Structure 1
Amino acid sequence: MASGIAARLAPVVEMAESAEKAAAQRLGHFQGQVNLANSKLGDLENFRAEYQSQWIGRGSQGVSGQWLRSYQYFLNQLETAVSQQRQSLVWHENNLNKARETWQQTYARVEGLRKLVQRYADEARQLEDKREQKLMDELSQRLPRRDSY
């Protein structure tokens, strides 16, 4: 009986394993998105730092009002881009966290189902062992005994 239950649960376990695999792939995808967003943010921050160091070098030589306005305008655009990229990174990190939670839940479900199936398989094996032992005991009792004197 327990062996039949374990066999009937096999498709359920397979479906749960499929869902867990898909969740793991999504988790990997979102981890890649976080890495990419983080890299872009780093690139923007490095570019901003370089641009600001150019200001220091150029500013010490004296600059025109037009150059200063252009510098300020571009620096504002760069700050906006950095801010937007930070928001993008936070958004991707939230997606990653949700994907991690989903994967953890599906993984726990798979593990629970595997343990359940294993328990039913163990019960079936124990029942079969008991049946075999009982049969062996009955057979040994039916055999004529040879008493040696």
Structure 2
Amino acid sequence: MSATAKDTLALLLERAENERDAAAQALHAASNQAQAARAQHGELAGYRQEYQQRWTQSFAQATTMDIVGCYQSFGRRIDQAVDTQGHVASHADQRQQRAREALGQAEMRVAALRQLIARRQAEADKVAQRREQRAADEFAARAHLRRMAHA
């Protein structure tokens, strides 16, 4: 394999490895974001449940319509926040999945380039071995002819 081809393949491999490393970092960041979004969704859902339980206990006592209205209004806002955070968590999970797929593709490119480099190097080694064998055969043949000429 020529030095230019070797340098080109090495450069391609380096670029592919850098892209793979960037994809791994992106996956790590996406995983952290997805985990945080799911945790926040869980906390909001838990808070909504606690709020409903507290008010259910409060309704056992006498309450005014104003308090019931406040409860319902705040309950709707909590429900809305839980739904919104659920969507955020879902989108974060999708980003994480896309990042995981991108990393897989980047790893496959690196592996393919390494395999190509190994194959090209093996071919170059075979060519070099044949060349050396031919040179050795020619040297042996000439040495044999010289010996025959001297004899």
Same fold (TM over 0.5): yes
**SS in structure 1 at match of 2:62:** coil
Deviations 1:18-64 (A, max 9, x none): 11111111111111111010000000011011111112221222322
- Give, in angstroms, the shift of residue 90 of structure 1: 1.7
Cα distance in 2 between the residues matched to 1:24 and 1:51: 40
**The 10-residue stretch of structure 1 (95-104 or 26-35) with the greater mean CA deviation from structure 2:** 95-104
* Mapping 1:65-104, distance limit 5 Å: 65-104=65-104
> What is the number of equivalent residue pairs in this alignment?
144
Gaps of 5+ in 1: none
For 1:140 and 1:51, locate their aligned partners in 2 and report how far apart those are by CA, in whole Å.
Answer: 96
Deviation digits for residues 56-104 of structure 1 (CA, Å, limit 9, x no counterpart): 2212223222221111111111000001101111221222222222222
Aligned ranges 1:107-146 → 2 under 5 Å: 107-141=107-141, 142=143
Bigger relative contact order (CA 8 A; separation at least 6): 1
Distance across 1 between alignment mates of 2:26 and 2:94: 13
- Tell me which moved more, 90-99 or 24-33: 90-99
Q: Unpaired segments of 5 or more residues in structure 2?
A: none
Give 3-state SS (helix, strand or coil) of 2:63's partner. Answer: coil
What amino acid does structure 1 have at the position aligned with 2:68? L
TM-score (norm 2): 0.83
The equivalent of 2:7 in structure 1 is 7
Identity %: 31
Query: SS of 1:63's equivalent?
Result: coil
Structure 2 Cα separation of the partners of residues 82 and 16 of structure 1: 41
Confirm or deny: 8 A CA contact 1:6 1:118 kept in the other structure.
Answer: no
CA RMSD of aligned residues (A): 2.0
CA distance in 2 between partners of 1:62 and 1:126 (Å): 93
Partner SS, residue 37 of structure 1: helix
Q: Which stretch of the first structure deviates more once superposed, 26-35 or 36-45?
A: 26-35
